[in-house]
Chains A and B, each alone.
Chain A
Amino acid sequence: MARPRKTTGPRKTRRPVPSPKKKPNIPVLGIVFGAVGILLVVAIVFSGSAPSGNTQEYGEPVISGAVLPAMPPGAAQPGDDPAIGLMAPEVAGTDFSDKTIEIKHDGTPKAVLFLAHWCPHCQAEVPRVQAWLNDTGGVKGVDIISVTTASNSNQNNWPPSEWLKRENWTSPVIRDDRTSSVYNAYGAGGFPYWVFLNSDGTVALRTSGEMETATLQKILELLVKQ
């Protein structure tokens, strides 16, 4: 785009004599677009090589079924959650050793736990739940499946695989993908985020935030009784 034309005056025909000191026309816009293009190439080149060591932290889970509505922020009452009673999407994913882990509506109630490695509340939740599992053996008849999601090498406690190994986490793990597809499909309710499924695959309860193991045990027992 050139400098603005002065077309406002009545004497349009008279153009000012070009300034003899006029600077050489630098193609500023061309330079700008060229620089942006170079930056894009740089981004492609560097991001292409960077995550080679991190790829095993992300999976490629396949999600089937309708996405759950988003977890309403600050839903204090379970009755406020529109997802309750809805069919949860099924997920076929893999864990850190590429073993297939699935969330399937196979007649067994499920407790799905979404974990973000950088979230301090998840970092507190994992050892507490694991200690409870070690002490009590959990609740028979309910599968606990964890999903490592929102994983991000720029954040603390990276990588999630090391973290869960360090905590001796025994529950199966599904690696979410880079865009947290599973987490979003389940309504993205913060971290840690529990989604409890009835045996038929419908949502029984979704809770956001740390949970006391006594509460967890009660919920799981209720799920089995149904």
Chain B
Amino acid sequence: MFDLTTMKLFFALLAVATNFAVLAYLGLAVAARWSSGAAGLRRRYLDLVAGREILFAFLVSGTAMLGSLYLSEIANLRPCRLCWYQRAAMYPLAVVLGIAAWQMYRRIRIPAIVVAVAGGIISIYHYLVQWFPTLEGTSCAVGIPCTIAWFRVFGFISIPYMALSGFTFVVVMMLALGANNRARPPDPVATDPPDSQTTVPVRPRE
């Protein structure tokens, strides 16, 4: 039941789900500049993930890590050179975001974005190489070719596409974290009677 045919479809569906989350965030972020309706939707999106941005990023990167381990260790799809670079980005992300989610360590934002963008760039390159093998100048005759997609679910979701989906989701969650950080202080302060308030801001320590 949990053979490669099933799992690759499952992973592909998960990737598409994160794609929707990413596109919705980016689309709303752009549309919010012109439309107040979009701005409201964006606010609701941010509220939905508020306080859970790091957790979601951890869940997705952790799933990506376990998924890649499934593909290499159980399904015997051997990781190529570029796969390893993406793993070098994804695995630490999963571990560190997990700890950060647990401790609500919001300053993980910038390091996470940097690592996820680096991994995402490799994913984009790898994805392109699979469609245009001449970029790598190699052929199927090489040991574990990066140029060959082990599979393409729905005709386009290969493994680096899944990795890219994970990386972009992490970036978007970290952007949402930043947006929520900026929006957060006035929110609780405004509801408090000013007199009972110390001058210490109520933002959590970062």
Known: A73-B144, A208-B142. A16 touches B52 (CB 8 A): no
Partner of B51, one of A2, A26, A72: A2
Indicate if A36 sits at the interface (CB-CB under 8 A).
Answer: yes
Indicate if B39 sits at the interface (CB-CB under 8 A).
Answer: no
Indicate if A104 sits at the interface (CB-CB under 8 A).
Answer: no
**For residue A20, which residues in chain B have a CB less than 8 angstroms away from its CB?**
191
B interface residues, tally (CB under 8 Å): 52
**For residue A40, which residues in chain B have a CB less than 8 angstroms away from its CB?**
10
**For residue B49, which residues in chain A have a CB less than 8 angstroms away from its CB?**
28
Indicate if A210 sits at the interface (CB-CB under 8 A).
Answer: yes
Partner of B140, one of A26, A72, A116: A116
Indicate if B66 sits at the interface (CB-CB under 8 A).
Answer: no
Known: A180-B76, A208-B143. A4 touches B104 (CB 8 A): yes
Known: A16-B188, A16-B202, A19-B188. A39 touches B17 (CB 8 A): yes
- How far is the CB of B97 from the nearest CB of chain A, in Å? 13
Q: In the bound complex, what is the Cα–Cα distance between A189 and B141 (angstroms)?
A: 7
**Which B residues between 108 and 159 are near A, CB-CB below 8 angstroms?**
139-145, 148-153, 155
Overall SS of chain A's interface: loop
Partner of B155, one of A10, A50, A150, A154: A154
Q: Is the CB of B48 within 8 A of A184?
A: no
- How far is the CB of B147 from the nearest CB of chain A, in Å? 10
Q: In the bound complex, what is the Cα–Cα distance between A70 and B78 (angstroms)?
A: 11
**For residue A43, which residues in chain B have a CB less than 8 angstroms away from its CB?**
6-7, 9-10, 13
**For residue A120, which residues in chain B have a CB less than 8 angstroms away from its CB?**
139-140
The residue in chain A whose Cβ has the minimal distance to the Cβ of B49 is A28
Q: Is the CB of A190 within 8 A of B141?
A: yes
Indicate if A225 sits at the interface (CB-CB under 8 A).
Answer: no
A interface residues, tally (CB under 8 Å): 61
Q: In the bound complex, what is the Cα–Cα distance between A94 and B47 (angstroms)?
A: 57
Q: Is the CB of B142 within 8 A of A73?
A: yes
Q: Is the CB of B9 within 8 A of A119?
A: no
Indicate if A215 sits at the interface (CB-CB under 8 A).
Answer: no
Partner of A47, one of B9, B150, B188, B205: B9
Q: Is the CB of B52 within 8 A of A9?
A: no
Which of the 9-residue segments B25-33, B87-95, B161-169, B192-200 touches chain A? B192-200
Q: In the bound complex, what is the Cα–Cα distance between A14 and B17 (angstroms)?
A: 41
Q: Is the CB of B145 within 8 A of A190?
A: yes
Q: CB-defined interface of A1-39 with B at 8 Å, one 1/0 digit per residue?
A: 111111011110010111110010010110010011001
Known: A9-B202, A28-B49, A154-B151. A17 touches B144 (CB 8 A): no
Q: Is the CB of A190 within 8 A of B52?
A: no
Partner of B52, one of A1, A8, A50, A184: A1
Q: CB-defined interface of A203-219 with B at 8 Å, one 1/0 digit per residue?
A: 00000111000000000
**For residue B10, which residues in chain A have a CB less than 8 angstroms away from its CB?**
39-40, 43-44
A sample of 8 cross-chain residue pairs with beta-carbon separation below 8 angstroms, ordered by A number, consists of A8-B205, A16-B192, A19-B187, A39-B13, A73-B142, A154-B152, A178-B3, A190-B142
Closest 5 CB pairs of A and B: A209-B141, A73-B143, A43-B10, A3-B51, A119-B140
